[in-house]
Amino acid sequence: MTDSLAWFGAANPARRVGRAVEHHAEIGSTNDRARELLSSPDGEGVAVVADLQTAGRGRRGRTWVSPAGVNLMVSVALRPDVPPELSSLLGLCVALALRSACSSVAPSAGLGIRWPNDLVDGLGRKVAGVLIETVLADGRLAEAVIGMGINANWQQEEMPPEIAAQATSLLELAGSPVDRVDLLGHLLDALDGEIQALERGESPIERARAVSWLDRHEVEVDLGEQVLAGRVAGLGDDGSLLLDAAEGRLALAMGEVVRVMDAAPARVSS
């Protein structure tokens, strides 16, 4: 287990994202703690990292499972000043930052982004997930709590079977253990850069398109009230999933890819 002092090595006061690091051996959810910090004077941008979450959350109300001291679980809360037309692209910025950090330890894994913002290896197995909880005011992003979970040093045989079938880890991909503090430092550098670019009005969409894993796959997308089948045609300018379905080309702003017909089963949680 990495001690609290070592985690401070990933902090950098020159950055807005991760200018300080707060480490917890155990916590409910790092997202909740990061949100709490936003109401204290210096809390914006503090990276909250935990060895164990007792109430870790995934997207769509799912649980995020991770054994103690093995993976990287971190949240940062921000009041970003993002042009409203770019706010739907925040998730892709986070996924690109995750890709940059994870590619630094597993450069030949062919890491890609699976819409909306999962990080997957070349075979579509999940390496990292993103949970962003936002507050909107007058159509603008007022607050964003950005939670990231990376399967870092999780051995495939230690994963619960339902996760092992659809996930992998940097340890498996790189063939050796990952230094989680170094990984966090790289992630915070990359995320800081992505947020700054978005605030300057620069869209990440072309960079996201270049690494979009779902393109050309036949998929099923759960929209809550119906499941749509179709072929993925790419990403729209706003980060939506372009799906060629029986109805024609659709731009899906929300939804969950629950099946990829011509690949390993789509991983929906870890």
The residues binding ligand BTN (CB under 6 A) are 29-31, 53, 56-59, 62, 64, 73-75, 118, 129-131, 147-149, 269
Q: CB of 21: closest distance to ligand BTN in angstroms?
A: 14
Q: How many residues belong to the chain?
A: 270
Q: CB of 197: closest distance to ligand BTN in angstroms?
A: 23
Kindly list the strands in the beta sheet with 126-137, ordered across the sheet, starting from the edge strand earlier in the chain: 21-24, 47-50, 72-78, 140-150, 126-137, 118-120, 112-114
Q: CB of 99: closest distance to ligand BTN in angstroms?
A: 14
**Cross-strand pairs, 72:** 150
Q: How many Cβ atoms from other residues are within 10 Å of residue 5's Cβ? A: 8
Nearer to ligand BTN, 131 or 208 (CB): 131
For 55-86, give one letter per residue: b (16+ CB within 10 A) or e. ebbbbeeeebbbeeebbbbbbbbbebebeeeb
Q: CB of 265: closest distance to ligand BTN in angstroms?
A: 15
Nearer to ligand BTN, 140 or 165 (CB): 165
Nearer to ligand BTN, 100 or 203 (CB): 100
Nearer to ligand BTN, 73 or 171 (CB): 73
Query: By Cβ distance, which residue is nearest to ligand BTN?
Result: 129
SS3 content of the chain, % helix, strand, coil (to 5): 30, 30, 40
Nearer to ligand BTN, 20 or 245 (CB): 20
Q: Are 151 and 127 in contact (CB under 8 A)?
A: yes
3-class state of residue 34 by DSSP: helix
Q: CB of 193: closest distance to ligand BTN in angstroms?
A: 20
Instruction: Please report the DSSP string for 102-114 in residue order.
Output: HHHH-TTS--EEE
Q: CB of 6: closest distance to ligand BTN in angstroms?
A: 19
Nearer to ligand BTN, 203 or 213 (CB): 213
